Amino acid sequence: MKIGIIVYSMTNNTVSVAERLNDALVQKGAETVISHVVIEGADPKSNTPLKLVGAPDPNGYDAVVFASPVQAFSLAQGMVLYLKQLPRFDAKKVFFFTTQHLKKPWLGANHAIRQAKALIDVKGTAVSGTGVVHWSSEQREEQIEALVKKLTAALTADVTQ
């Protein structure tokens, strides 16, 4: 199974979780590629409009995992910009996870997941599963492990060893 992990990260927290997922998937025999959404003008102190300069293509994968942080209680604007410009794509399985600083999902993560699902659903593929890592939580490590385990099991169910 060929799996694309498409990440937008501002502080590398989201990337670090994606890398752990990638490592677990490779150990299970999956072929994986991590690609980065690259945005210019993402400095929150600047009034420069966001510009998408790196837009990974989700086509050609059996499954895709999108990952993004929460920003201002919503899906990060860089990921919103990326998902809006995507054409329809044909992945059989799609997953989404988010990282957020705050410890409660109702402080942005739930909204970010709803936004991502809505933006992905209109591309012709429904999101099969989601997850959240609360970066300031004392249980962050356990949350990462649980997310990686959950997504690895869902993504490698068809992979023969």
**Which residues does 121 contact at the CB level (< 8 Å), separation at least 6?**
127
Query: What is the C-alpha to C-alpha distance for residues 61 and 158, in angstroms, rounded to an integer?
Result: 14
**Can you give the length of the chain in residues?**
161
Residue 149 CA to residue 27 CA, distance in Å, equals 12
SS3 content of the chain, % helix, strand, coil (to 5): 35, 25, 40
Domain boundaries, the chain: 70-161
**pLDDT of res. 160:** 47
Distance CA 13, CA 17 (A): 7
Range with lowest mean pLDDT among 7-16, 24-33, 36-45, 148-157: 36-45
Closest C-alpha to 24, from 158, 111, 160, 150: 150
Q: What is the pLDDT of residue 124?
A: 87
pLDDT given for residue 45 in this prediction: 67
pLDDT higher than 50, residue 161: no
- Cβ neighbours of residue 148 closer than 8 Å, sequence gap 6 or more: 17, 20, 21, 24
Residue 35 above 60 pLDDT?
Answer: yes
What does pTM read for this prediction?
A: 0.93
